[in-house]
Amino acid sequence: VKTIRSCLRTGKADKQVQSTPHVVVLSRRFYTTQLRPLLTRWALLWLNMSGCTLDDSATTLDYLTRGPAGAPEAAAQAKENLGDDQMKMLNLCYDWLSSLVPHCLAKIDRVNFGLLSPDDLARALARDPKMPRSRRLVAVPFVGKDVPTAASEFSHPDVVIGMTILAYRYEGLRPSDFRAIMRQLYEEMSEEQGPYGKRP
């Protein structure tokens, strides 16, 4: 984490990273050459814990860095030694590191994407009472500062996940989200058996 923090400080000094209102990667080259190798090592730790790595960490790193086309030996070893689910996780990790993370980190919350604020939700529901539930809960595209699109949503499911995680991280839970979570926890707790202190 310290190395990533130091890398981001260097990127900020070189004007490759913006730190206001949050971390925004301005240079794809900076991401590829400086930040991605560090994130790849973090991904390797997670993959090790999940049992999705090859015998040699260097081979897994090579696969995550260059992909199946760029690292055919690593790809052959992965195909031979990993199960279907493990292969899917390895490929998903490569996709995230190579394209989805830099895409998401290049966007600015409440300018390019964000959650609908309570006022935005009220206006959207007045315009369209049958607005999809997904639009109420996940990040949506914005057309400018604090101006969400009228009806569009992100089409790529992994982009939706990445943008939503970042939006909740930057903006926090809305009061309506907090109430919904507390209501759900209360309902689940009331359905469980036994003394409160011993319920899961």
Q: Which two tokens stand for residue 83?
A: 């199960």
Same domain, residue pair 150 and 98: no
| 82 and 50 both lie in a single domain | yes
The number of folded domains in the chain is: 2
Confidence grade of residue 51 (pLDDT, cut at 50, 70, 90): confident
Q: Give percent of the chain with pLDDT exceeding 90.
A: 84
Q: Indicate whether 53 pLDDT > 90.
A: no
Look at residue 21 and tell me if it is in a domain. Answer: yes
Q: Is residue 169 part of a domain?
A: yes
Residues 42-71 as b/e (b if ≥16 CB within 10 A, e otherwise) read: ebbeebeeeebbbeeeebbbbbbbebbeeb
| 107: its two tokens | 């966007």
Domain assignment present for residue 24? The answer is: yes
Q: Are residues 157 and 63 in the same domain?
A: no
What is residue 57's predicted lDDT score, i.e. its pLDDT?
86
pLDDT in tens, 173-193: 999 899 999 999 999 988 888
Q: Give 164's pLDDT tier (boundaries 50, 70, 90).
A: very high
Residue 98 sits in which domain range? 2-105
| Same domain? 23 vs 47 | yes
Q: Are residues 51 and 76 in the same domain?
A: yes
Same domain for 13 and 34, yes or no, is: yes
Place of tokens 């730190």: 19
**Region 84-88: what's the mean pLDDT?**
94
- Domain boundary (105, 128, 143) is at 105
CA distance 44 to 90: 9
Q: For residue 200, tell me if it sits in a domain.
A: no
pLDDT tens for residues 9-22?
A: 999 999 999 999 99
Residue 198 placed within a domain = no
Is the pLDDT assigned to residue 25 strictly greater than 80? yes
For residue 62, which of 31, 42, 41, 46 has the smallest C-alpha distance?
41
Classify residue 73: in a domain, yes or no: yes
**pTM given for the model:** 0.86
